[in-house]
Structure formats: structure tokens, C-alpha cells
Amino acid sequence: MKNFLILIALSIAIYSCGTGNMNNNSITGVSSNDTIRIANDSLEYEILIIEPGFESWLVTQPKPGFYGQSLLESKNRSFVSEYNNRVLQPNRYSRNLYGEQINYDPAVDYGYEVNYLLYNYFVYFQDRYNQKFIGGRN
């Protein structure tokens, strides 16, 4: 159930992303319920990742700026494509892990923070649930 809620929140957030000014972004973690929130000041988009352990795992990863935005965008396109393909194969992949497709438009500039957070969530997802995506770190 928690994975389904995460996927819904992630799907809705990415779907509702705008191309507005991405310079005033911030990453905010709320450790009381292990929620990571990313949004711009005008609230044109927002991503919430509610996954136990993700926040503490994220602080052990390379810090923002380690990867370039174009690399993160490339990885995210690949990961989203692989993820969405698995959503469409419920006989082969669990609905508990792959509940709904993620609407990630490669033509939209989501900014560095969104791409950084999404990339790291996919890496976490693969590690935590023992999934292997093409081009993943495992």
C-alpha cells in the first residue's frame, strides 16, 4: 500500500510539473515521517517521496552537484521508460512495486533538484526491492 501511495504521489507530482522558473528550488526533508519534499517557491510543481529509510539513505549518496543535470535527465528517461514498461506487464512484475506509470516528459526542464531526487529514488528503489534496471548502479 505504501508503495502505491508513493507511486501515486510521484506520478501526480511529475505529471503536474511546469516549466516555470526553476532557480528557486529547495529540497526539504521532514524526518518525523521520512518524507522528502521538493518544490519551487511558486508551487508550480511538487514531488513527495514517502518511503521509510529513503531520507537517511539519501544523505549517504553523492551530494547535489556531483552529477550533471544532463546525466541525471538521461538516466531518468531510461529509468522511467523501464519502470513504465514494467507497469504494463502485471503478469511479470508485481503490482505492489509497479502500480502506476510515471509521466516524465523529456521535453520539460524539471530542473536539477527534481532530476537529482528522482534519480536517487530510482537507485534506492532498485537497491531496496532488489530490482535491476538497464543502466542502474547495481
Q: How far apart are CA 5 and CA 63, in angstroms?
A: 27
pLDDT band (50, 70, 90) for residue 123 = very high
Residue 121 belongs to what domain range?
A: 2-128
CA torsion angle 61 134 78 102 (round to 10):
-80
Is 102 part of any domain?
Answer: yes
Asked whether residue 63 is assigned to any structural domain, the reply reads yes
Query: Has residue 29 been placed in a domain?
Result: yes
Q: Which of these, 84, 136, 73, lies nearest to 109 by C-alpha position? A: 73
Q: Is the pLDDT assigned to residue 79 strictly greater than 80?
A: yes
pLDDT tier at 4, thresholds 50, 70, 90: very low
Exposure b/e, 27-42, CB count within 10 A at least 16 = b: eebeeeebbbbbbbee
In a domain, 83, yes or no: yes
- b/e burial code for range 56-90 (CB count within 10 A of at least 16 → b): ebbeeeeeeeebebeebbebbeebbebbeebbeee
pLDDT in tens, 24-77: 444 444 444 566 666 655 546 666 777 888 989 999 999 999 999 999 999 999
Q: Cβ of 4: how many Cβ atoms within 10 Å?
A: 14
- Residues sharing a CB contact under 8 Å with residue 64, sequence separation 6 or more, in sequence order: 27, 112, 113, 116
CA 32 to chain centre: 20
**If you average pLDDT over every residue of the chain, what do you get?**
76
Specify if 38 maps to a domain: yes
What are 89's three cell numbers?
Answer: 506487464
Total number of domains in the chain: 1
Q: Is residue 136 part of a domain?
A: no
**26 within a domain of the structure (yes/no):** yes
